[in-house]
């Protein structure tokens, strides 16, 4: 009799699960959709009411830093790859294309709950995805492409670690948009946008601006699952602390803004295009020649995500302003410590930050920065994120 009752009880539980399971799942989906709508509406409204200025000091945007010129490094492979991508999209083409000066440039988010525009990798067929990867392959270095694809993989890992929640996370939840018509002479660009991975790629002739760029993950190393062994930002982490520890004690003290790090600190992530930020920390002008070279090597890890020729052009620009570059540090420098560092020059801003847990919060996990959650953001200060200053100059020279 007991077995019969137990069997009926289990059967009843099964029926209830069938009856109520989809409803509960639908409710979670509705809550996620509402969260996405609220987050997106709030931030889109903010962008619409806040004209672009760019990251600058309290003195304002410094003029004359960027010029429309020839770099001698062709962008034709990028243009051709963009055309092949657009030609492959069929019915998705219209929703993927925007004017070159559209607000879409600024509508990116490192958060997962943003409602993005364009065509997603989920919607694309496999041949269309390959054309999208070809566009990134033409624009990025091999290292930059690998990092981007590894970020996508780790977003799948985050889904696995959240009870296989692929409604929220996943390796294909990334979107592509193209601004302007891919042209040899007229300005245009493309954007890759998704959780922890954002690339804004502006083209004018043979000039390229590849900022804002965001790279990150939680976790930063997949220790299990479909993409076990995938890891990102370990070199940027290790090279940063190695550089800090290589400095003389007095210079380390000058670079250190605070020795304790108890929260996330990045200042210029999504929807923060107009941050006012002063130069802080240790000026490169006070560093030895060897440490200046080491600093340039650290910067090259970030700039080196661009295709090699354009990375060389950008590094030369950075080096011309090296005397005005500062290095700032928050946190400790002992093994396994968490920290934040910032490299700030008139023509580049780099932030590296160990973040508080978000997607991997839970019992036994302190709400403190850890090495499993890293955010990196790269910007072009003084009004040239998204190539805005180059676009302004182009419009001044050519009637549109």
Q: Where are the beta strands (DSSP E) in the chain?
A: 97-98, 119-120, 174-179, 188-194, 197-204, 207-209, 213-217, 256-258, 282-283, 326-331, 339-344, 349-354, 374-379
Q: Is the pLDDT of residue 369 over 90?
A: yes
Domain hosting 292: range is 50-400
Query: With bands split at pLDDT 50, 70 and 90, how would you rate the model's confidence at 170?
Result: very high
The mean pLDDT value for 264-288 works out to 98
Does the residue 223 lie in any domain? yes
**Model-level pTM?**
0.93
Does the residue 221 lie in any domain? yes
Residue 5: what pLDDT? 34
Q: Is the pLDDT of residue 156 over 70?
A: yes
Q: Is the pLDDT of residue 244 over 60?
A: yes
The mean pLDDT value for 313-329 works out to 98
Number of domains in the chain: 1
Structure tokens belonging to residue 399: 């009637």
Q: Is the pLDDT of residue 376 over 90?
A: yes
Q: Is the pLDDT of residue 3 over 60?
A: no
Map residue 186 onto helix, strand or coil.
coil
Q: What is the DSSP letter of 349?
A: E
Does the residue 33 lie in any domain? no
Residue-averaged pLDDT of the chain: 93
- CA–CA gap between residue 191 and residue 180 (Å, rounded): 11
Residue 100: what pLDDT? 98
Residue 29: what pLDDT? 77
Which residues, 6 or more positions from 376, have their beta carbon under 8 angstroms from its beta carbon? Answer: 214, 215, 216, 233, 236, 302, 350, 351, 352, 353
Does the residue 138 lie in any domain? yes
Residue 22: what pLDDT? 56
Does the residue 160 lie in any domain? yes
Does the residue 9 lie in any domain? no
pLDDT above 70: percentage of residues in the chain: 93
Does the residue 168 lie in any domain? yes
Q: Is the pLDDT of residue 19 over 80?
A: no
Does the residue 34 lie in any domain? no
């Amino acid at each position: 009799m007991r077995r019969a009752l137990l069997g009926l009880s289990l059967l009843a539980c099964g029926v209830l699960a069938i009856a109520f399971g989809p409803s509960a799942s639908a409710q979670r989906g509705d809550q996620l959709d509402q969260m996405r709508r609220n987050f997106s509406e709030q931030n889109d409204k903010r962008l619409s009411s806040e004209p672009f200025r760019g990251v600058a000091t309290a003195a304002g945007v410094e003029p004359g830093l960027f010029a429309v010129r020839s770099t001698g490094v062709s962008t034709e492979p990028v243009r051709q790859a963009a055309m092949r991508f657009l030609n492959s999209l069929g019915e998705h083409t219209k929703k993927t294309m925007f004017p070159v000066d559209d607000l879409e440039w600024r509508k990116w988010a490192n958060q997962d709950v943003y409602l993005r525009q364009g065509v997603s990798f989920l919607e694309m067929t496999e041949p269309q995805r390959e054309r999208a990867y070809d566009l990134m392959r033409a624009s990025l270095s091999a290292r930059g492409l690998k990092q981007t694809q590894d970020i996508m993989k780790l977003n799948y890992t985050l889904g696995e670690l959240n009870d296989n929640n692929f409604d929220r996370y996943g390796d294909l939840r990334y979107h592509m948009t193209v601004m302007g018509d891919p042209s040899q002479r007229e300005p245009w660009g493309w954007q890759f946008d998704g959780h922890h991975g954002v690339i804004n790629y502006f083209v004018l002739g043979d000039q390229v601006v590849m900022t804002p760029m965001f790279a990150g993950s939680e976790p930063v190393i997949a220790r299990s699952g479909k993409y076990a062994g995938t890891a990102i930002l370990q070199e940027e982490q290790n090279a940063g602390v190695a550089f800090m520890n290589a400095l003389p004690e007095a210079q380390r003290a000058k670079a250190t803004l605070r020795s304790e790090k108890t929260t996330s600190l990045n200042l210029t992530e999504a929807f923060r295009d107009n941050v006012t930020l002063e130069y802080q920390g240790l000026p490169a002008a006070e560093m030895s020649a060897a440490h200046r070279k080491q600093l340039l090597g650290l910067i090259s890890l970030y700039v080196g995500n661009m295709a090699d020729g354009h990375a060389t052009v950008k590094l030369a620009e950075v080096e011309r302003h090296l005397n005005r570059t500062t290095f700032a540090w928050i946190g400790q420098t002992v093994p396994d410590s968490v920290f934040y560092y910032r490299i700030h020059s008139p023509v580049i801003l780099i932030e590296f930050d160990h973040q508080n847990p978000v997607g991997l919060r839970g019992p036994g996990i302190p709400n403190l920065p850890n090495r499993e959650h890293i955010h990196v953001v790269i910007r072009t200060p003084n009004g040239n994120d998204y190539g805005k200053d180059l676009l302004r100059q182009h419009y001044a020279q050519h009637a549109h």
